[in-house]
Amino acid sequence: MIARSLILLFSVLIPLSARTQIQQSEYAARRAALAKLVGNGLVVAIGSAEPDEDYIAFNQNSPFMYLTGFSEPEAALVFQVKNGQIVGKEKLFVQPSDPSREVWTGARLGIDGVQQKLGLEGRDESQLLKVLDSLLTDSDDALLQIIGDYNPTRTFQSTTDQQIASVMKKHPRATARSAMGAVLQLRRVKSPAELDMIRKAVSITVDAQRDAMRYIEPGQNEFETQALIEYTFRRNGADRPSFSTIIGSGPNSTTLHYNADDRFFDANDVVVMDIGAAYRGYAADVTRTVPVSGKFSPAQREIYQAVRDIQAAGERQAKLNAPGRLMADSANVVMNLQLAKLGLIESPGATYD
C-alpha cells in the first residue's frame, strides 16, 4: 500500500508535459493530411544517416520525425498517394535486427518491431531503391514526392540526391520534386501534445536561465555557464540543446551567433545568454542579458531598456490572424528611434557600409 501511494504521489508531482506522448494515431493523421496536400505520386521521406564519428549523437531530422516518430538512423518512409488518399500499405524501411551490431549501437526496433509498435509495414533499408524503382512507373504523369535533404541542382550532391538520381535514371519520363513545403505547411498548426512539449522545452530553458543568473560572477569563464545550462537541460529531461549554446560576455555579447564560449567574465561586463532546450523534438529559444556584477551601469541599463522597448513594440502586434511582418515593422520603427536617441546611428533609418 505504501509503495502504491508513493507511485501515485510521484505521478501527481510529475508535470503533465513530462508524461505526454504523441500517439501513433496522430502520426497516421499527419501522413493522411500530407497525402491530401500532395494529391498524387509516390512519397518517400528520408531519415537521417548515422554519424560517421562515434562521439556525435544521432538526431533524427524534424520532417521525418514529424511523420513517423521513428528515431533510428538510416530509415525511410514510402507510400503511394492517389487523389489525395494513401493507397496500399505505408512502408517503413529500417535497419534489420543484428545482435552483433547492437552490442555497440543498442537495440534496434527491427523489421518485425515496425509492424508491432508503429503499425507500418517493415522493410529492410537496403531494399529501398529497389522498391522505389518497382513502384515508380515510367510515364509522363509519374511523380516522386521527396521529403528530406533533396536538391538536385547543387554542385555537391547529398546522398539523397544521388539515390534519387539513380532511381530517376531508370524512369526518364517521371518527375521528382521536393514535398518539403507541404510538410512545413502542416507543421504550422500544433496539436495539443505538440504544444505541451513546446511548453516543457520552454520551461526547462527558463529554469536554466535562472540557474545561470544566480551562478554568474566575475572571474568565471563563459564555458562554466554553458556547462551549467546544458546540465540543467539534461537534468530536467531535455534531449539536448536545440542549437549551439551562446554565452557571450563583454565584446562577445555583440556577436549574434557567438558560440566559442571561452572568455573570462569581467565585473563590468554584461553577458548575453541565447539558449534553448530541445525536448522530444520540440525546441525552445530564450535570450536574456545580465550584468556580471549583479547591477547594470547607467549606460548598460539605457541600452537594456531600449531593447526591451523594441521587443514590446513587436509583441503588441502579435495578434491572432495578423500578418507576421507587422511585428518586425513595429520593432524596426522603435529600434531606429532608440538607436538614434542613443547616438549609435546618425538618424532613424540610417544604414552602414
- The CATH number linked to 62 is 3.40.350.10
- Of 288, 318, 344, the position where a domain reaches its end is 288
175 and 237 share one domain: no
The answer to whether residue 14 scores a pLDDT higher than 70 is no
| Average predicted confidence (pLDDT) for the chain | 92
The model's pLDDT over 94-149, given as tens digits with 9 standing for 90+, comes to: 999 999 988 988 899 999 999 999 999 999 999 999 999 999 998 999 999 999 99
- Count: domains in the chain: 3
Q: Give the whole-angstrom CA distance, residue 105 versus residue 128.
A: 22
Q: How confident is the model at residue 56 (pLDDT cuts 50, 70, 90)?
A: confident
Going by pLDDT thresholds of 50, 70 and 90, the confidence category of residue 353 is low
- 33 and 179 inside one domain: yes
- Structure confidence by residue, pLDDT tens digits, 85-108: 999 999 999 999 999 988 988 899
Give 279's contacts (C-beta < 8 A, 6+ positions apart): 197, 198, 200, 201, 204, 237, 238, 239
Q: Is the pLDDT of residue 277 over 60?
A: yes
Quick one: pLDDT at residue 17?
43
CA dihedral 58, 60, 62, 63 (to 10 degrees): 150
Residue 272 lies in a domain: yes
- What is the pLDDT confidence band of residue 238, given thresholds at 50, 70 and 90? very high
Does pLDDT of 8 surpass 70?
Answer: no
Q: Indicate whether 77 and 167 sit together in one domain.
A: yes
Q: Report yes or no: 73 and 62 within 8 Å, Cβ to Cβ.
A: no
Task: Check whether 5 has a pLDDT greater than 80.
Answer: no
> Taking 90 as the threshold, does the pLDDT of residue 314 lie above it?
yes
| Pick from 88-92, 102-106, 215-219, 220-224: least confident | 102-106
| Domain extent for 263 | 190-288
Whether 2 is covered by a domain: the verdict is no
Q: Are 29 and 68 in contact (CB under 8 A)?
A: no
What is the predicted pLDDT for the residue at 12? 42
- Is residue 282 within a helix (H) or strand (E), and if so which, with residue range? strand 282-283
- Residue 52: the pLDDT is 85
User: Are 315 and 269 part of one and the same domain?
Assistant: no
Q: Is the dihedral of CA 21, 25, 31, 33 positive or negative?
A: negative
> Residue 54: what pLDDT?
80
**Position with higher pLDDT, 53 vs 73:** 73
Q: What pLDDT shows up at residue 266?
A: 98
Q: What H or E segment, with its residue span, contains residue 248? A: strand 246-249
- Are residues 279 and 323 located together in one domain of the fold? no
- Tell me what pLDDT residue 18 has: 45
Confidence at residue 352, expressed as pLDDT on a 0 to 100 scale: 66
Q: Which of 263, 288, 313 is the last residue of a domain?
A: 288
The answer to whether position 126 is within a domain reads yes
Mean pLDDT of 12-17: 44
Helices (H), the chain: 2-13, 16-19, 24-38, 62-68, 99-105, 110-113, 128-135, 159-168, 180-186, 192-215, 222-235, 298-315, 325-342
Top pLDDT among 5 and 173 is at 173
| Average confidence (pLDDT) over 258-286 | 97
Q: Is 300 inside any structural domain? A: yes
- Model pLDDT, residue 205: 98
For residues 63 and 207, membership in a common domain is answered with no
> Per-residue pLDDT averaged across 310-335, rounded?
95
pLDDT of residue 77: 98
* Mean pLDDT confidence for 49-57: 86
